[in-house]
């Protein structure tokens, strides 16, 4: 009889804790937004291309048809997609020429426990929020050698 009560108590405790674990991002990846984390800057896309590792940048749109976690997270926060140095979806969508506005906002992506354990994720990563004529996108800093933009102390502290 005592074993039954202990089991019920443990299960009840898990049901109480589970929503807070999920909301806290342990079970689901999520974004943390840091406004005014860098200096806003305008950069010509051709100048940014010179800083990339491969000399190319591609836009990966976050469309409702995509069921990927990244697409869902981007749409949830109002971003049109991401900009990377490789063509993620093989749809050959190069970044258009023109001005890119670094908005000064930085987004940190927190990985879920499952991504860290099963997927070999290194944990947190971050993106610069940039604005093109078609909307706001997330630019991954590993796509280029040196952005010249520093990030705020809050992000650095949270990444450690």
Summarised one tens digit per residue, pLDDT across range 47-67 is 888 888 778 888 888 888 776
What's this model's pTM, rounded to 2 decimal places? Answer: 0.75
Mean pLDDT of 32-41: 92
Which helix H or strand E contains 160, and what residues bound it? none
Residue 35 pLDDT grade (very low, low, confident, very high; cuts 50, 70, 90) = very high
Residue 101 pLDDT grade (very low, low, confident, very high; cuts 50, 70, 90) = very high
Q: How far is the C-alpha of 141 from the C-alpha of 108, rounded, in Å?
A: 12
Residue 156 pLDDT grade (very low, low, confident, very high; cuts 50, 70, 90) = confident
| Cβ–Cβ < 8 Å for 100, 132 | yes
Beta-bridge mates of residue 128: 106, 139
The residue among 134, 119, 25 whose CA lies nearest residue 83 is 134
């Amino acid at each position: 009889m005592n074993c039954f009560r202990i089991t019920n108590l443990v299960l009840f405790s898990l049901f109480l804790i589970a929503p807070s674990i999920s909301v806290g991002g342990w079970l689901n990846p999520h974004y943390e937004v840091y406004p005014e984390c860098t200096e806003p800057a305008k950069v010509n896309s051709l100048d940014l291309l010179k800083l990339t590792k491969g000399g190319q940048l591609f836009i990966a749109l976050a469309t409702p048809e995509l069921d990927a976690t990244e697409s869902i997270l981007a749409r949830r926060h109002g971003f049109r997609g991401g900009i990377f140095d490789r063509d993620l979806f093989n749809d050959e969508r190069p970044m258009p020429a023109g001005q890119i506005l670094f908005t000064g906002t930085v987004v940190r992506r927190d990985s879920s426990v499952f991504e860290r354990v099963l997927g070999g994720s290194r944990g947190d990563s971050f993106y610069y929020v940039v604005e093109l004529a078609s909307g706001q996108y997330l630019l991954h800093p590993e796509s280029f050698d040196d952005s010249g933009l520093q990030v705020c102390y809050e992000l650095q502290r949270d990444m450690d």
